Amino acid sequence: MLIAQITDTHIMPRGQEWLGDAETNVHRRLERVVIAINNLKPAPDIVVLTGDNIDGTNHSGAYSALKEILSELRTPYYVIPGNHDDREGLRSVFQAQRDSSFVFDHSEARVIGLDSLAPGKDFGFLGNDQLQFLKQSLNERRDVPALLFAHHFPVNVGIEVFNQMTLRNAEDLENIMRFYPHVIGLVCGHFHNQFSTLFAGKPLYISPSCAPNFFFESADAKRASHINLEPPQFSLHKISGFNFWSKVISVVRAERTLVL
């Protein structure tokens, strides 16, 4: 099974740009990623967008622009929220999905997307409804591998700003992942950079972003010093038996950085 992951697109309403700077060019970056995914051979079985899909205060305008761009995808896609998303806005625009979490079944695996949004907060939290949803989803089809997706990662990543924005109830998720041996790993976004480690004794993979990523002068810097205008990126995950591998796809050539 092949999964394409897009994360942290930060789409604004048409006519607006992320961080107020046209050079961030988030609409065109996502359009290029969509074209690249459509050209993949073999085509992925599913595309998962792992949060911070939009940005700004005009949620309806941003989701409208996002859906317009995603309508060009030739592969079924699912969207879960991040800290910049609006849960009800997401649900109302992506009605075919019916919820802000999802289960996608394939003959070889089950893919589960979790809603880790804590409204008004940058950190994440899996509420009781999400934990119960996860347990119920894992109680079914125990004979095939299950790969989990969420926006917020449950570990520190070496940058203090992001260490304050992790999944706050990581232990709850860890206990569930350890209890179900057919869970093969967890995939996240939120960091704008690639990162991998182990969590609950299983692979944890954080994908780089579609929007530009952040550069910090030091691990304890209070804010990013640059936005890197490097290529929009997405990740591919291939499930093979009870294992999976991940790779990053860069869509265009890097040119320079944008000083904040």
β-pairing verdict for 77-80 and 46-50: parallel
Classify burial at 132, counting beta carbons within 10 Å of its beta carbon; exposed 0-12, middle 13-18, buried 19 or more: exposed
| Low-confidence stretches of the chain (pLDDT beneath 50) | 254
What is the pLDDT, as a whole number, of residue 260?
61
What is the pLDDT, as a whole number, of residue 107?
96
What is the pLDDT, as a whole number, of residue 71?
97
What is the pLDDT, as a whole number, of residue 151?
98
Q: Domain 2-250 - what CATH class?
A: alpha beta
β-pairing verdict for 233-240 and 243-250: antiparallel
Domain limits of the chain? 2-250
Q: Furthest-apart CA pair in the chain: how many Å?
A: 50
What is the pLDDT, as a whole number, of residue 258?
56
User: Is the full-model pTM beyond 0.85?
Assistant: yes
β-pairing verdict for 2-6 and 46-50: parallel
What is the pLDDT, as a whole number, of residue 254?
46
Query: Which two three-digit tokens encode residue 109?
Result: 């695996």
Segment 205-214, tens digit of pLDDT: 999 999 999 9
Distance from C-alpha of 258 to C-alpha of 250, rounded to nearest angstrom: 18
Please answer whether residues 100 and 91 qualify as being in contact, where contact means their C-beta atoms are separated by less than 8 angstroms. yes
Distance from C-alpha of 183 to C-alpha of 138, rounded to nearest angstrom: 8
